[in-house]
Amino acid sequence: MTRFRATLAALTLFGFGLRVAYALAADVPKGFGDDVWFHSVANGLVSGRGFSDPFNSVVHGMLVFGNAGPPSPTAFHPPLFPALLAIPSAVGLDTYTAHQIVGCALGAAAIPVMGLVGRRLAGDPAGLAAAAIGAVFVPIVARDSLLLSESLYGPLIALTLLCALRLRERSSTRRALELGAVIGLAALTRSEALLLVLLLTAPLAFTIERRTRLRALGLACLATLLVCLPWCVRNSLQFDLPTLITTGDGSVIAGSNMHSVYYGPSIGYWDFAGLYRALPGGQPDPNEAVQSDRWRREGSNYARDHASRLPLVAVARVARTWELFPFDPEERFSLANEQFKHIRKLEYPAQVELIAVWLLAVVGGVRLRRRGEPLWPFLVMVALVTVVSALGHGDPRYRHAADVSLVILAGVGLAGMKGRPWARLSRS
């Protein structure tokens, strides 16, 4: 084993340990958040309830709280993360903490992939620097530790970047299929990754030799389609309506387009409780696709009726995702602790790390330009996050793909600085 690989393995283990420590120290679980949803759906898969709403059952055509009745089919979130959690559940590792540890392992898997991307861009030192930053970058560590789908999304985004660089270097059937398949898996983890077909795959095709570009583009798109199609067919048949990866988009559109998040201190955020206050009888339709369509119309109508307010709201959404709003850091730290269960004392170093990574990423971007290496695939992730936030609502979770990309660029920037102490570690 070369020193590069040994060091990369050590950084991965160290990053995994940090994530486990964070997971055990965090104050979870509470309420009915996404973490509990993933945990409960995974256990429901093992107990024979399939992909069903873990909080409600269908009784006499009505949703009833609890899972004692017949299951209510769900596609509220994409399926891949809870499906993976179901594997340890099947062998008895079905507690919330056990699933957290699995999430930590998945998140730590992004560390060596970030290292490989950095190495491909600027050599071994850049790879080790990217892996080291990824191991200790608190914003990523927190999401990896709190049983969120970002723990799987991170390594898939890093793999997407690696596959894109490989296809750009040499077009082949295998490499095109790899890129498309990884994007498909990422979309089955967070549905906005499907936009990477348009934002990444299509432009990438025009950077490879002319005679193979259309074939590579077609193969990549075909692979993405084949990965996602079975789930989309299942959803469409289950809900008797054409349904893609998730039914959660309706609640996002409605919850981010109402008075409470267009005006006042919650501008740019999402009002989950407001969704249910507006429902007849406070109960959603038991068919998630039907209810999602209603919410989608309500949210779109509100945005259209308040179009003059929308630009300011969109700016607030993006600023929330990039942790630039609320302006008072204490208010942001309180929100992270109360809503997302982050460890409050670690929010201070997290902000310092965030700013440092941004600055180093700029240095890394300049270095890539000078080396003639592609910068734009990494900026695609920044654009993806920004567009999704502007159209949905502001949440630092949405920034995960960009954080992975920026950590890699920061590694390139750090490795290019004079006097780096780790160069000798990368020699084989």
CB 175 within 8 A of CB 167: yes
Q: Which whole-number Å values give the CA distances from 273 to 87, 276, 279, in the listed order?
A: 33, 6, 11
Q: In the prediction, which pLDDT does 426 show? A: 47
- Secondary structure of residue 150 in the 3-state scheme: helix
Compute the chain's Rg from CA coordinates: 22
Q: In the prediction, which pLDDT does 427 show? A: 47
Strands 62-65, 52-59: pairing is: antiparallel
Q: Which whole-number Å values give the CA distances from 410 to 133, 152, 353, in the listed order?
A: 8, 21, 11
Determine the Cα–Cα distance for residues 225 and 420; give it in Å rounded to an integer.
44
User: In Å, how far from its chain's centre is CA 90?
Assistant: 25
Q: In the prediction, which pLDDT does 63 show? A: 87
Q: In the prediction, which pLDDT does 419 show? A: 58
What number of residues does the chain have?
428
Determine the Cα–Cα distance for residues 381 and 342; give it in Å rounded to an integer.
24
Q: In the prediction, which pLDDT does 1 show? A: 72
Please tell me what DSSP assigns to residue 54: E
Q: In the prediction, which pLDDT does 282 show? A: 67
Each residue's pLDDT expressed in tens, for the chain with a length of 428 residues: 799 999 999 999 999 999 999 999 998 876 779 999 999 999 999 999 999 999 999 988 888 888 888 999 999 999 999 999 999 999 999 999 999 999 999 999 999 999 999 999 999 999 999 999 999 999 999 999 999 999 999 999 999 999 999 999 999 999 999 999 999 999 999 999 999 999 999 999 999 988 999 999 999 999 999 999 999 999 999 999 999 999 999 999 999 999 999 999 999 999 988 988 877 666 789 999 999 999 999 999 999 999 999 999 999 999 999 999 999 999 999 999 988 899 999 999 999 999 999 999 999 999 999 999 999 999 999 999 999 999 999 999 999 999 999 999 999 999 998 655 545 444 44
Q: In the prediction, which pLDDT does 61 show? A: 83
- Read off the pTM: 0.96
